[in-house]
Structure 1
């Protein structure tokens, strides 16, 4: 999925769910979509792909035991405060299952104010942490991350004896890219910016071409 100007403006290529389904079948189920997006959004975006999904930075999942047993305390208050701040400063608020984010792509000059406000919120409400992202700042539950999701996935039987491969384009993906590199596999950085990943692809379309080539083989 390419970066869109708004979280709700993402357009998924029509053939992507089927491509992922074919690759999952070829790998005997050893394929997972790991994202900061909410699980219900992933299921909507990738309707037709029935494989493993991990959403909300590892705090919810499909096809495996849910990592988070209960909704975080104070979640409603955190969302309400973030939504109010976004409205007051003409920024984009993104609601998520176990957290929320403020996007400042439309007004980069507000980055400092967003960062200061989210730091204030995480100091006020226990159990949450700040997750920097591309032109956004997210508040998510403590103890969950994309690299943590990879660690959980690696214990599933279908991933046994395999080397981890992870592709991502955001700052939130760097810990997972590092995890793959440190556990006998490799990471693939998509797009511009420095990364711990060993390999690099220029655009999301290059990732889709790489996956299609893997299916063809």
Structure 2
């Protein structure tokens, strides 16, 4: 049964923080002991605040310390679940390395000290298709192109007026290539195109078959449309799902901002 965390008593260890009106961090009492838990976390908009460009995101020192602590306390059962590539995730969190699902489930790394990506489910986007999609960035100054290998992202945070034109251009390409196995992922000021056949949920399903995640009760925190597939599978593991910035369908609770998420994780570590 799903609950609105605003209707539930807060554990004394978890304060409401700076959540948006009507929201509050999840009670610590909902979370099993960390030795029995798998911590799954989206990155952009969940752990980290959005920046004008994807390269400008910043990991606060306190968050890095919290992540290291949670990774140790869970026995390694902490993973980042992101649309970014594993390489990009590592650059952002450097010098720290964590288990991670990258490329919306296209690649996965179980051990932070392993250079080997396992469970790759898809080849990179076709080069010609990628070239045609990349040309959309020329529609307006301010559209930023991000090549993730398994996907291509068109960011329009600096050109919000171009949103409609971007999606229309993508639709025209899809109509011209009706058999191309691609999916369009609308996000927060971004239009992302990836190969079909894998999602963040498929990545998590694979992750949960491996130690140290296997047999644990997961909780996942995410903020975007691409995270909803993971929200949907949490009940299969008796897990918990929390959204950020909005009350997503089917979640157990929600946070107002990434700041609230970071505070909650720090307090959970010190519980």
Q: Same fold (TM over 0.5)?
A: yes
Q: Which residue of 2 aligns with 1:131?
A: 185
1:33-112 counterparts in 2 under 5 A?
33-63=80-110, 66-68=118-120, 71-72=123-124, 74=126, 76-90=127-141, 91-112=143-164
**Cα drift, residue 145 of structure 1:** 0.8
Mapped partners of 1:73, 1:105: distance in 2 = 24
For the 8 Å contact 1:181–1:198, the answer to whether it is kept is no
For the 8 Å contact 2:80–2:99, the answer to whether it is kept is yes
Deviations 1:148-186 (A, max 9, x none): 111111111212222221001111111112221443111
Q: Which residue of 2 aligns with 1:10?
A: 57
Normalized per residue, which structure has more helix? 1
When residues 193 and 135 of structure 1 are mapped into structure 2, their CA distance, relative to the original with a 3 A threshold, is: farther
Mapped partners of 2:110, 2:62: distance in 1 = 22
- For the residue of structure 1 that corresponds to 2:136, the secondary structure is helix
Q: Which residue of 1 aligns with 2:204?
A: 150
**Cα drift, residue 73 of structure 1:** 5.5
When residues 30 and 141 of structure 1 are mapped into structure 2, their CA distance, relative to the original with a 3 A threshold, is: same
- For the residue of structure 1 that corresponds to 2:215, the secondary structure is coil
Q: Which structure has the larger Rg?
A: 2
Deviating 4+ runs (over 4 angstroms): none
Mapped partners of 1:195, 1:10: distance in 2 = 27
